[in-house]
Amino acid sequence: MRETLTEAALRARLNAHAPYSKFLVGAAIEDANGQVHTGCNIENATYGLTLCAERVAVFKAISEGARGFTRIAIAADTDVLTPPCGACRQILWEFAGDVEITLVNLHGQSETLQLATLFPRAFDASFL
């Protein structure tokens, strides 16, 4: 049986390298061919070089030749569901457009919404 996108995000979370914040996040993005690419957050002592799980998943997928994304799941151990940060919203918009996003936590809560709901009036190549 194939793992769900949410299960893949929860599993990817366990690979996070977060020695400073202890905030483990996993993401799983599905491409247009139905293949799932995962990512986890990877921290650095100089926080500015830290990468979020969503960006790792997108960049990993792109580096593996994937194009066109249909949905992404983001998993974190928080009481309140954690949406992508601003940088991740921009990357998601750039590479996936108004993609479906499912937020999930370890308490079984989830919410699904479109990126445009979180990122209205996004900047993209149409402004260049």
11 falls within a domain? yes
Q: DSSP class of residue 65?
A: T
In a domain, 72, yes or no: yes
* Alpha-carbon separation of residue 38 from 6, 33, 68, 71, 120 (angstroms): 11, 15, 15, 12, 26
Q: Is residue 127 part of a domain?
A: no
% pLDDT > 90, the chain: 94
Quote the domain boundaries for residue 103: 5-121
State if pTM tops 0.85: yes
CATH number for 37? 3.40.140.10
20, 67, 108 from 86: Cα distances, Å: 21, 22, 25
Treating both helix axes as pointing N-terminal to C-terminal, what angle do 53-63 and 5-13 enclose, rounded to 10 degrees? 110
The pLDDT, as a whole number, for residue 102 is: 97
Residue 31, domain member (yes or no) = yes
In a domain, 28, yes or no: yes
Q: In this structure, which amino acid lies at residue 26?
A: G
- Residue at 29 is within a domain: yes
> Structurally, how many domains does the chain consist of?
1
What is the rounded CA–CA span in Å between residue 111 and residue 21?
Answer: 24
Q: What is the pLDDT of residues 32-84, one digit of tens each?
A: 999 999 999 999 999 899 999 999 999 999 999 999 999 999 999 999 999 99
Q: Residues with catalytic annotation? A: 54
For residues 15 and 55, give the distance between their C-alpha atoms in angstroms, rounded to a whole number.
15
Residue 128 lies in a domain: no
